Structure 1
Amino acid sequence: MRLRFLGSTSEAGACPSLYETDRGTIVVQGMQVVDPDALADLRDVLDGETAVEVPRELLVDIARKVLG
């Protein structure tokens, strides 16, 4: 799988960031959610899955760029 950087709200270009894959999916880079109460709110988490936190404005900004 190959990734293409879409954008970030980080001034250093680190996380949170979004990437598009060559498989037509999106990869999210962000801080792992470790709060037990927040993790308890997740549904149907499979082995190997995790949750990451990204700002809403990053998702909105990238959606505007990608979807026009």
Structure 2
Amino acid sequence: MRLTLIAGDPDSNPNNSPTLYKTDRGSWVVQGWVINDADALATLNLPDGESAVEIPDRMIPFFFQEGRAADNV
């Protein structure tokens, strides 16, 4: 899998994490904060082989703004 950096959180220093990546497989990789809250994890009911991370609302526009550009590369 090849990753293309789309956007890092501009309000997060020093490494701009959370971060969004587009893959060469037509999918996204989202780097974010690990969810440790037991109630939230129970609500998610994650199957084996899956995990979830949290990202701030301010990252969502990057899926639409930068994502369209990444699809055309």
TM > 0.5 between the two?
A: yes
Tell me the TM-score normalised to structure 2 length. Answer: 0.77
Distance of 1:57 and 1:18 partners within structure 2? 12
Please give the residue correspondences for 1:1-68 in structure 2 after superposition, counting only pairs within 5 Å.
1-9=1-9, 10-43=12-45, 45-67=46-68
- Partner AA of 2:32 in structure 1: G
Percent of aligned pairs sharing the same letter: 42
Distance of 1:2 and 1:67 partners within structure 2? 17
Query: How many residues of Structure 1 are paired with residues of Structure 2 in the alignment?
Result: 67
Distance of 2:21 and 2:67 partners within structure 1? 11
Stretches of structure 1 that go unaligned for 5 or more consecutive residues are none
Tell me the TM-score normalised to structure 1 length. Answer: 0.82
| Structure 1 counterpart SS, 2:30 | strand
Give CA-to-partner distance per residue, 1:1-35, whole Å, 9 cap, x none.
00000001134334200000000100000111011
